[in-house]
Amino acid sequence: MTAAISVSGVAKRFGDVQALEGIDLEVRAGEFFALLGPNGAGKTTLISILAGLARADRGAARVLGHDVVADYRRARRLLGVVPQELVFDPFFTVRETLRFQSGYFGIAANDAWIDELMANLDLTAKADANMRSLSGGMKRRVLVAQALVHRPPVIILDEPTAGVDVELRQGLWRFMRRLNAEGHTIVLTTHYLEEAESLCSRVAMLKAGRIVALDATERLLARFHELALAVRVSGAPVPPALGARARGGADGRLTFRLAGYDEVEPILAGLRGAGCRIEAIELAEPDLEDVFVRIMSGARPEAAQ
């Protein structure tokens, strides 16, 4: 089966910045895929190359088998992109914006689907409002709707939940899950890693223009298979020896990575011995955020296996 997205050997340079360096990536049709990485890692650049907004210096990118440069018209028809920047055309209403976008994709009569999109994204009440008058979150919803007007089989969302309230976030993901269940391939970038963890079956992590991890979400979590002990303390300062081992601490909450359960007691004993009062204890498996932090700080996931 043709890959939904296939990127091979893609490199891109902006002046002194090597934004992407030899990226190889395949997203299978029907996947729910996360592209993660810190600010400036190259996520948007990679998406721009797929969308034809930027040209790769080297390498090739394909959407469902169609080269994004040589066969750009077919590639673009198969792809829907929600851009990271909150852009809009202040001349038009929400409905006009969506009708124009349909027309650009060659669809003349699309009102039934436009109405459905607006209903799903809670935009119906704003259908005839000027784009200028919408709040930031509302504008974001219109961007999502615009990306979907042509029912693209491959959908890329570049930080769709930045600055968006909880209700829309949940509504948006419900909608994306439905589209994914109907067969659409979905790729998202986000800095809320719990979103990626709960939605995406596979994850790629980018750092400084290179892919530093690419695996099924579960396997990525399993690679750093270890326990974490989170405690919240008050009353006395944490002894430096223990504090150095822990992460966090803003609200008195400390997280210790453990090699096994037998490390729990000595830590608690150490805290009590220093006069700390233990307010809460939690033993947890690492989440994607922990994995992300480890990988970005240079830990090699392979070595931990």
Partner 1 sequence: MTGFATLFRKELVRFWKVAFQTILAPVVTALLYLLIFSHVLEENVRVYEGVRYTQFLVPGLVMMSVLQNAFANSSSSLIQSKVTGNIVFVLLAPLSHLEFFGAYVAGAMVRGLVVGSGVLAVTLPFVGVHFAHPLWIVAFALAGSAILGALGVVAGIWADKFDQLAAFQNFVIVPFTFLAGVFYSIHSLPPFWQAASHANPFFYMIDGFRYGFYGRSDIDPAASLAVVGVFLVALSALALALLRAGYKLRT
Ligand X SMILES: Nc1ncnc2c1ncn2[C@@H]1O[C@H](COP(=O)(O)OP(=O)(O)OP(=O)(O)O)[C@@H](O)[C@H]1O
> Which parts of 4-23 interact with ligand X (CB under 6 A)?
14-15, 17, 19
Query: Of 91, 194, 237, 249, which one interacts with partner 1 (CB under 8 A)?
Result: 91
- 202: which strand partners? 33, 216
Q: How far is 176 from 198, CA to CA, in rounded Å?
A: 13
- Asked if 7 is part of the footprint of partner 1 (rule: CB under 8 A), the reply reads no
Binding characters for partner 1, 265-284, by CB under 8 A (x = yes): --------------------
Which of the ranges 39-47, 88-96, 142-150, 277-285 carries the binding residues for ligand X, by CB under 6 A? Answer: 39-47
CA distances from 271 to 24, 189, 230, 231, 237 (A): 47, 39, 12, 10, 9
- 257: which strand partners? 228
Q: Output the CA angle 162-163-165, nearest 5 degrees.
A: 110
93's tokens: 């209403």
Using DSSP's 3-state secondary structure scheme, residue 143 falls into helix
**In whole angstroms, how close is the CB of 15 to partner 1 at the nearest point?**
11
- Asked if 104 is part of the footprint of partner 1 (rule: CB under 8 A), the reply reads yes
Binding characters for Mg ion, 80-119, by CB under 5 A (x = yes): ----x-----------------------------------
Q: Choose from partner 1, Mg ion, ligand X, none: what does 30 bind? Cβ within 5-8 Å by kind.
A: none
**In whole angstroms, how close is the CB of 299 to ligand X at the nearest point?**
20
CA distances from 297 to 18, 102, 170, 211 (A): 20, 44, 31, 14
Which of the ranges 24-32, 89-97, 213-221, 227-235 carries the binding residues for partner 1, by CB under 8 A? Answer: 89-97
Q: Which candidate, 257, 249, 263, 264, places its Cα nearest to that of 286?
A: 257
Binding characters for partner 1, 59-88, by CB under 8 A (x = yes): -------------xxx-xx-x-x-x-x-xx
**Residue 62 buriedness (CB in 10 A; 0-12 / 13-18 / 19+):** buried
- Strands (E) in the chain, as ranges, are 5-14, 17-27, 32-36, 58-63, 66-67, 79-82, 154-158, 185-189, 202-207, 210-216, 227-234, 246-248, 253-258, 277-284
Query: Of 11, 54, 162, 230, which one interacts with partner 1 (CB under 8 A)?
Result: 54
**In whole angstroms, how close is the CB of 81 to ligand X at the nearest point?**
13
- Asked if 107 is part of the footprint of partner 1 (rule: CB under 8 A), the reply reads yes
Q: How far is 60 from 226, CA to CA, in rounded Å?
A: 39
Query: Of 6, 44, 120, 146, which one interacts with Mg ion (CB under 5 A)?
Result: 44
Residues forming the site for partner 1 (CB under 8 A): 14, 48, 51-55, 72-74, 76-77, 79, 81, 83, 85, 87-92, 96, 100-108, 146
Q: Which residues bind ligand X (CB under 6 A)?
A: 14-15, 17, 19, 37, 39-45, 84
